Structure 1
Amino acid sequence: MDANKLLAIVCVSEMLMESSSSSEDSEEDDNKKIFALASVIRETHPRQTGYLSVIMEYSNSDFWRHFRVSQATFNYLLRFMEKNKFRSEITYYGGYEPLSNSEVLLITLQYLGNQGAIRLLADKFDRTESSIWNAIEWVCNFLFKHQSCFIKWPVETEMPYIASKFKDKCGFPGVVGAIDGCHIPFHPLFADQKSYRNYKKFHSFVIMAIVLYDGTFSYVFSEFPGSSHDSYIFHRSSLYNKLNNRCSSMFNPRRYHIIGDSAFPIQQWCLTPYKKGTNGITRSQRTFNFKLSATRMVVEHSFGELKNRFRRCQNVYAKIDKAVNVVVSSCVLHNICIQKGDINRESYCHIPLHCNVIPNHCDQR
């Protein structure tokens, strides 16, 4: 705003303030005029500029460090989004240029891959905070909607190959998936804090997943509060109903099975470790438990990979519906990265996985 316009607004405001009136309505009218005049002054905040040009100069390594995916994976994602009509109609009403699909994806990847505040992203991309939130919501909603394109239960003809790859790990036969639950720390409303407080004394919700031999998620189920037991969540999942009622349509339960820890129910299609009774367990049972546990570790490694690559999953500041979208979107991206050979370049040994929901139900060896 130029100096002359600002001076005119100040002079008019002073005139209104100096004028006195005994009428209460007149005072109210004066206040409305002052607020109306003040509203034309646009609040501005200095921000960085030219960051998108800087990104163009990033090496492959630098691009990965900032956005947690390779440039090839980013280009694949962008093509997939545009092919599936992501924001196919963008209307420009004047003012700031609208966010491009490329910029929207860059913003979301940097949000998912880091724990920085939204205001830092707004400053970096020279956008308002509301625009940053909109970009994140658009992409996460899109990935959540299209999760079935990347998180798939394998078809029956793939089961022999999957079982052989699992057997190559530790010699445990017939495995077509490893199941476990993982806590995602987040910050619920005060009224909901009790139900979301888990046994480790922090607030979380649980993501339950089945993982294949290569670390990809074949099934994801989320939203239950951190106080819920793995078994309780599993019994209320759509997958449990299918396995319990129509398992033969998914795989032959006499030949194949999923494996889990002692928190899960033992079924013909689900194997868990032997529990140590009063007389202990036999040597063969101990060997069984060891091989099952070693094979099952792939699911915990996947949770560690997820939290290390997309670090927003380590602590989500959002309402539960948006927090679930963030985590499921991260699972989708996790699968895409594995399918595209986009390996994680950092170790995640220091990251707490929070995989075992109830400590008393760990594997007995």
Structure 2
Amino acid sequence: MDEVSEILTAFGAVLAVSLAEESDLLISLLFNGLDFLGLLLGVLAHRRQHVRIAGFAEDVVPRYHPEDFRQHFRVSRRTASILVTALGHCRGIPRASDPQRRGILPVDVEKQLLVTLWFLATQEPFRSIGDRFGICNATAYRIVKRVISAVNRNWTPKIIRWPKDSASARYVIDGFHGRRGLQGVLGAIDGSHIAIKAPRSNQDAYINRKCFHSIVLQAVCDHRMFFRDCFAGYPGSTHDARVLKYSDLYDRITESVDTLFLFGSYLLGDSAYPLSSWLMTPYKDNGHLSEKQRNYNFLHSSTRMAIERAFALLKGRFRRLKYVDIDRLEDVPDIILAACTLHNICIMSENDIEHFVDSDDDNQEADGIDGLDEDGVEENNSIGNADGSRINIGKRKRDLIAEQLWEHCRVLT
């Protein structure tokens, strides 16, 4: 105990001085004060005896009905079992069975996973989580940080993957085509604001257009709401187009667009993004759109809705992302990416994936964004200053897609 050590040190120092000076008065006062010291130590020891819930993870959770387990931890018991096995093989996760382990036995791997899932599934602070699982709040924080680091280091690169080969690309393209008839769609892209606690510094940069502090999550998903690319960390005031510009995805596209977009495929984005050959945006509705253009906009919007639903499912399953109330701002992107990774794992291993879709999640952005021209190009921005050939190629490709969709619609009618 730090406080007890300080008290004993102070008493020892005064006692030594008193004895050296042979001060009967001081010696008398000190020895009479020892009774008070004993009482004080008793109070401190009593105060340190925190009472926590015992046996929640060990006794209560195993008796949960499968549906109750899923409601509490936001994953099925089968998925949790898979995660425990995989987590046990990750470097950096302490295990009691480790032959080189010395000292106090670490928290069981399954319990570490349950603590992390509870953190992601709820808005409870670490103090409450520690109390529930019978550990101190500092241990709860270290467990969550350790597990999230292991998820991002070992699983994220393998789980959140771009469809690079022809078979996986064709699978996604056919999946989108089966929804609304758009041919060549490889993914839907959008940004979502993850609400955060006001940072200690540079607070204004994190206030978004909806007037709350946030970090932007940019993601691309396929027709199953499965994330194919995730990028998080930019302050909430950053425009979607600028986040794209500085993302790893944009760097890869710049280096090799034909390798990423096989079969002439492309992404669907809203009007916040710049139009290009690999990113189709809607026509700006100025009140004079043709029927062909309105038909394209309708099919574009209804197909792009996959990313909106993906964000709603992500935040509905892992409610921590509705408001990340932690002091260390640098931890937030890691938490977001780990949640996205677990989101994909759930889609891979569970059937009723839309069970947690949050219908109240407000991720819709207005079609008309101040500071953008009709093709979603940000004014006075490095993206907006891109060469006109890119925009012209994008316009021609969009017109061709709109024409094909319109002809198909006329044939059906």
Aligned to 2:331: 322
Query: What amino acid maps onto 1:93 in structure 2?
Result: G
Q: How many percent identity over aligned positions?
A: 29
Question: How far apart in 1 are the matches of 2:75 and 2:115?
Answer: 13
Q: How many residues end up aligned between the 2 structures?
A: 346
Summarize the Cα distance change of 1:12–1:75 in structure 2 as closer, same or farther, 3 Å threshold.
closer
Summarize the Cα distance change of 1:355–1:142 in structure 2 as closer, same or farther, 3 Å threshold.
farther
Q: Secondary structure at the match of 1:209?
A: strand
Query: Equivalent of 2:355, from 320, 329, 345?
Result: 345
Question: How far apart in 1 are the matches of 2:368 and 2:210?
Answer: 9
Query: Equivalent of 1:241, from 245, 251, 276?
Result: 251
1:92·1:98 contact (CA, 8 Å) conserved in 2? Answer: no
RMSD: 3.4
Query: What amino acid maps onto 2:174 in structure 1?
Result: S
Query: What amino acid maps onto 1:119 in structure 2?
Result: R
Summarize the Cα distance change of 1:267–1:13 in structure 2 as closer, same or farther, 3 Å threshold.
closer
Query: What amino acid maps onto 1:210 in structure 2?
Result: V
Aligned to 1:74: 80
Aligned to 1:3: none
Residue 14 of structure 1 deviates from its aligned partner by 9.5
Question: How far apart in 1 are the matches of 2:193 and 2:137?
Answer: 28
1:156·1:251 contact (CA, 8 Å) conserved in 2? Answer: no
Which structure has the greater CA radius of gyration? 2
Aligned to 1:46: 51
Question: How far apart in 2 are the matches of 1:300 and 1:85?
Answer: 35
Aligned to 1:59: 65
Query: Equivalent of 2:295, from 278, 287, 290?
Result: 287
Query: Equivalent of 1:272, from 275, 281, 289?
Result: 281
1:300·1:355 contact (CA, 8 Å) conserved in 2? Answer: no
Q: Spell out the pairing of 1:194-273 with structure 2 (5 A cutoff).
A: 194-252=204-262, 255-273=264-282
Question: How far apart in 2 are the matches of 1:12 and 1:192?
Answer: 42
Query: Equivalent of 1:302, from 307, 310, 313?
Result: 310
Matched, 1:139 2:147: yes
Structure 1 residue runs of 4+, over 6 Å off? 10-20, 361-364
Unaligned runs of 5+ in 1: 1-5
Unaligned runs of 5+ in 2: 377-413
Aligned to 1:103: 111
Summarize the Cα distance change of 1:137–1:241 in structure 2 as closer, same or farther, 3 Å threshold.
same
Question: How far apart in 1 are the matches of 2:331 and 2:62?
Answer: 30
Question: How far apart in 2 are the matches of 1:196 and 1:294?
Answer: 30
1:311-363 C-alpha deviation (Å, 9 max, x unpaired): 00000012222111111100000000000025243451123336669855799
Summarize the Cα distance change of 1:23–1:215 in structure 2 as closer, same or farther, 3 Å threshold.
farther
Question: How far apart in 1 are the matches of 2:264 and 2:333?
Answer: 34
Residue 116 of structure 1 deviates from its aligned partner by 1.4
Aligned to 1:191: 201
Query: What amino acid maps onto 2:53 in structure 1?
Result: Q
Residue 23 of structure 1 deviates from its aligned partner by 9.7
TM-score, normalising length: structure 1: 0.85
More contact order relative to length (CA 8 Å, sep ≥ 6): 1
Summarize the Cα distance change of 1:84–1:13 in structure 2 as closer, same or farther, 3 Å threshold.
closer
Q: Secondary structure at the match of 2:355?
A: coil
